[in-house]
Amino acid sequence: MADNQQLKVLLAQLTQLMKSLQLWHSTRPIEHLLESNEPFAVDSLEPQEWLQWIFIPKMSDLIDNQMPLPKGFCLAPYFEECWKNNHDYSGLIRLIKAIDEVCT
């Protein structure tokens, strides 16, 4: 249960930081873009869109419904590669690494 609470805090921090960096959008993508079978929906969404519209809601739903969290995933390398030329996103990458650690 401690992992759930820790993850909930990290997700809230991630959301807030994305908003402060103006990466949070009020308009949801068209539904078929959210239905990608590709990892991170690379064929239809930007990295921040995947976080906002797929990852954060899914993880929040698991926490809210007291479901087991997925274990053993590693998101950080993908986002490090996507944002390697944007130093403003280093805080986002640190938070994503912390999420990875909670879910190991």
SS3 content of the chain, % helix, strand, coil (to 5): 65, 0, 35
Q: What are the residues whose beta carbons fall under 8 Å from the beta carbon of 52, sequence distance 6 or more?
A: 15, 18, 23, 24, 25
Give pTM, 2 decimals. Answer: 0.93
Confidence of residue 100 (pLDDT cuts 50, 70, 90): very high
Residues 12-60: tens digit of each pLDDT = 999 999 999 999 999 999 999 999 999 999 999 999 999 999 999 999 9
Give the pLDDT confidence score for residue 104 in this predicted structure: 85
Give the pLDDT confidence score for residue 44 in this predicted structure: 97
Give the pLDDT confidence score for residue 1 in this predicted structure: 55
Q: What angle do CA 100, 49, 20 make, to 5 degrees?
A: 80
Handedness of CA 93, 16, 52, 102 (dihedral sign): positive
Residues 56-98: tens digit of each pLDDT = 999 999 999 999 988 989 999 999 999 999 999 999 999 999 9
Domains of the chain: 2-24+41-102 (1.20.1440.40)
Confidence of residue 2 (pLDDT cuts 50, 70, 90): low
